Structure 1
Amino acid sequence: MKTLLFLLVGFLGIEALAQSPVRVAVAGLSHGHVGWIFNRADKKDIELVGIYETNPDLVNLFASKYKLDKKIFFSDLNKMLDEVKPEAVSAFGAINEHITIVEACAPRKIHVMVEKPLATTFADAKEIQKLAEQNSIQVLTNYETSWYASNQYVNDLVQQGKLGDIRKVMVNDGHQGPKEIGVSKEFFAILTDPVKNGAGALVDFGCYGANLMTWLLKGERPLSVTAVTHQNKPEIYQKVDDEASIILQYPKAQCIIQASWNWSFGRKDMEVFGNKGYAVAVNATTVRQRLAEKSPEETIKLDPRPAPYTDPFSVLADVVQGRLTLDKNDLYGLPINVTVVEILESARESAKSGKTVFLN
């Protein structure tokens, strides 16, 4: 009887441990997506234990808006990490600060999730990957399009051979512009800073296409990158591009990425054409497809992806606690996202020089 009771208590203890929330800290409050973590009271998979932010106005704003104890705010990143001992950190500052976050977290064995893209430079991306591997941590890059059932469906068609060999892909992403849609002044300052953001629309929305195309081709790098950028609204976006078109050339396929702060409305869609058929991910749950020349086009309505793929913090919690393992071709994972940064850096170089950049 005692043995049975001991086993039962032990089992319940392990089960409770497996379900305990992941201790998560936030690094930065200036990114426009940070509100997500404060608006998920219905989920208990993470516990917010600390917030790093050096701007006192943002600290006061978020403390007041979300009724947060000022004791969880820190102006020193390392002090926060040492005092609250998070299991993971979610970065919501400038893109060029991601390397600093990982440099602080990796030696402490703290996992990291950043908002897209992974870094502003290829050198930083490679250093992040090196630190992650040396310290056995996960570094995830959050993309909204990773949650789309439509993209998963199209990729399944590709992997099943129903579209044939990929020949042409178009990825269209963006909106009317950061100012036009009313982002905060802090987020606007990041997006329009060529150092903090890496570029304008080219980085902000070009990263989606680079991420998806690299995924569709299972990590293959392009042979060359050609990009054209422009300032359609220089009175608003004085230091960065608001319009970018990027062409990725592969041995037998081409991807055209249209990243813009000049669309009529917000959009994130992808068109994939193979030599047997095509599929268009119209939005998160709608696909238009035609799988044979004599077949009519049909529209497929999909259910949203199941949990945890409805919430990036649920994905983070499952990865940290081992319920979810990222493979080398995962949209969130490092291999793909290091290549994304290489593509974006090559695109900036091409746009600046007016020449195609050939990758080694």
Structure 2
Amino acid sequence: MRKRFKSTIVLMVLIAGLTLKSNAQNLRLAIAGLNHTHVYGILSKYKDGTANIVGIAEPNKALWVKFGKLFHIPDSLFYTDLKTMVLKTKPDAVLGYNEIAGHVKIVEICAPLHIPVMVEKPLAATLAQAKRIKELADQYHIQVLTNYETTWYPSNWDVYNTVNAGTIGSVKRMVAHDGHQGPKEIGCTEEFLSWLTDPVLNGAGALNDFGCYGADLMTWMMHGQRPIAVTAVLRHYKPAIYPKVDDDATIMVEYPGATGEIEGSWNWPFAIKDFEVFGETGYLHALDTSHIVSRMREKILGSKNVAPLAAPINDPIVYLTAVLHKQIPGTDDLSSLNYNMVVMEILDAAKRSGQEGKRIVLQ
């Protein structure tokens, strides 16, 4: 009887996963911007038939040619103007792959038309822009979500679930390391670099580009709790390469019962995205997408590889589909607007702290 019950549960999970995948493939998606290199992911899904893209708004026609050839995109899908495109194609959602300061413009166009939006991290270039996005989302009752690569890491979810199960006691310290050798050093495209290294279009340098990952994970781990204070040290190690923005950020985030340290940099000797959590009785370290090491007290050590995530938390488009179909709320998680408003508060306070050289207390 138990075997039959377990088989039935497995079958139900498989059917649910297949249904979500099918719904995701049918979701009518529009793209705003092509100057963010993360766009390669969604365009690859279009090419292999797992994403239904109905329109692409991009003013730079050279990028039409570039991506049209790479991903076999017909000319009929390209538009120079976002509003014209969404009015004609009537998408279920718009995905932002433009400069971070342009996210607010996407929402200003889509919100009155009641079109949900998902942008690449971070939510906005400034806290003022984020507040405008929140105002529009609330006024027109639309979802505005933020996509982070680390949201879909099985290792981060395993750490989160282990902490919530009480296995290592209450969280006392968190450490996030994120970054790489530098966007120019790793060969980012000119159209990407032109805004990523601009203090207005990106809002900062490594602070916004990589500091947002740790801020998002810590906000999630603390269940949306706002910090009480933020202190940051911003460094400029490569002024000849990045003359306008910081290239290294160390941010201390204070909570009533815990401390977080965010290290975002364009100066690592290698690409890194990891996350450490220290509890009262144990330690968990998500080394990469799926590998975790742990330590309980002095000599109880552990290491494991985590299984892939199940739908709908395994993929941004599957997740977006589940939110739009009201299968999950999308209101208090890594992608949610609620949590990402806290992320923007942390980044804003870190920027002010670095500029003013003092600890910033959040009101």
- TM-score by length of structure 2 reads 0.91
SS in 1 for 2:334: coil
Cα distance in 1 between the residues matched to 2:85 and 2:45 = 23
How far apart, CA to CA, are the structure 1 residues paired with 2:160 and 2:126? 28
- Match of 1:349? 352
How far residue 136 of structure 1 moved from its aligned partner, in angstroms, is 2.0
Q: What is the rounded CA distance, in whole Å, between the counterparts of 2:48 and 2:70 in structure 1?
A: 19
Query: Matched residue pairs, number?
Result: 344
Tell whether the 8 Å contact from 1:121 to 1:342 is kept in structure 2 after alignment.
Answer: no
The 3-state SS of whatever aligns with 2:293 is strand
Task: State TM-score, norm by structure 1.
Answer: 0.91
The yes-or-no answer on 1:68 pairing with 2:73 is: yes
- Where do 1:19-168 residues align within 5 Å? 21-41=26-46, 46-168=51-173
Report what 2:190 is aligned to. Answer: 185
Instruction: Report the counterpart of residue 318 of structure 1 in structure 2.
Output: 322
Of the candidates 320, 329, 332, which is equivalent to residue 332 of structure 2? 329
Q: Residues 107 and 29 of structure 1: is their aligned pair in 2 closer, same or farther, counting only changes over 3 Å? A: same
Give the partner amino acid of 1:173: D
For 2:66 and 2:77, the matched residues in 1 are separated by 14
Give the C-alpha shift of residue 75 in structure 1: 0.9
The residue matched to 2:261 in structure 1 has which SS? strand
Q: 1:322 offset after TM fit, Å? A: 3.1
Q: Which whole-Å deviations, capped at 9, do the CAs of 1:262-292 have from their partners, x for residues lacking one?
A: 111101001111111111111111111123x
> More displaced, 308-317 or 247-256?
308-317
- Written as runs of structure 1 = structure 2, the 5 A alignment for 1:266-305 is 266-291=271-296, 293-305=297-309
- Deviation, 1:351, is 0.4
Amino acid corresponding to residue 187 of structure 2 in structure 1: G
Counterpart for residue 223 of structure 1 = 228
Q: Does 1:307 align with 2:331?
A: no
CA–CA distance in structure 2, aligned partners of residues 19 and 205 of structure 1? 28
Q: Distance in 2 between matches of 1:103 and 1:149?
A: 34
User: Structure 2 counterpart of 1:59, which letter?
Assistant: W
Q: Percent identity over the alignment?
A: 45
Taking the aligned partners of 2:26 and 2:327, their CA distance within structure 1 comes to 13
Aligned to 1:4: none
Three-state SS of the structure 1 residue aligned to 2:338 is helix
Superposition deviation, residue 19 in structure 1 = 7.6
Inter-partner Cα distance in structure 1 for 2:261 and 2:334: 19
Report if the CA contact (8 A) 1:29-1:53 is conserved: yes
Name the CA distance, whole Å, in 1 between partners of 2:63 and 2:150. Answer: 28
CA distance 1:264–1:107, shift in 2 (3 Å): same
Residue in 2 that maps onto 1:200: 205
The equivalent of 1:359 in structure 2 is 362
Relative to structure 1, is the Cα distance of residues 322 and 252 closer, same or farther in structure 2, using a 3 angstrom cutoff?
Answer: closer
What is the alpha-carbon distance in structure 1 between the residues aligned to residue 122 and residue 234 of structure 2?
A: 18
Give ranges in structure 2 of 5+ residues lacking alignment. Answer: 1-19
Contact 2:55 2:77 in 1 (8 A): yes
Seen in structure 2, the aligned counterparts of structure 1 residues 42 and 57 have a Cα distance that, compared at 3 Å, is closer
Deviation at 1:84, TM superposition (A): 0.8
Assess if the C-alpha contact under 8 Å between 2:23 and 2:321 holds in 1: no
**Match of residue 173 from structure 1:** 178
Cα RMSD (Å) of the superposition?
1.9
In structure 2, distance between residues paired with 1:160 and 1:307: 21
1:338 maps to 2:341: yes
User: 5+ residue gaps in structure 1?
Assistant: 1-14
Alpha-carbon separation, structure 2, partners of 1:353 and 1:19: 46
Distance 1:18-1:41 versus aligned 2 partners, 3 A rule:
closer
Distance in 1, matches of 2:71 and 2:162, equals 43
Answer yes or no: is the 8 Å Cα contact 1:148–1:284 preserved in 2: yes
Equivalent position SS for 1:133: helix
Please give the alpha-carbon distance, in whole angstroms, between the structure 1 residues aligned to 2:114 and 2:91.
Answer: 10
Distance 1:181 1:231 in 2: 18
**Residue 252 of structure 1: CA displacement?**
1.7
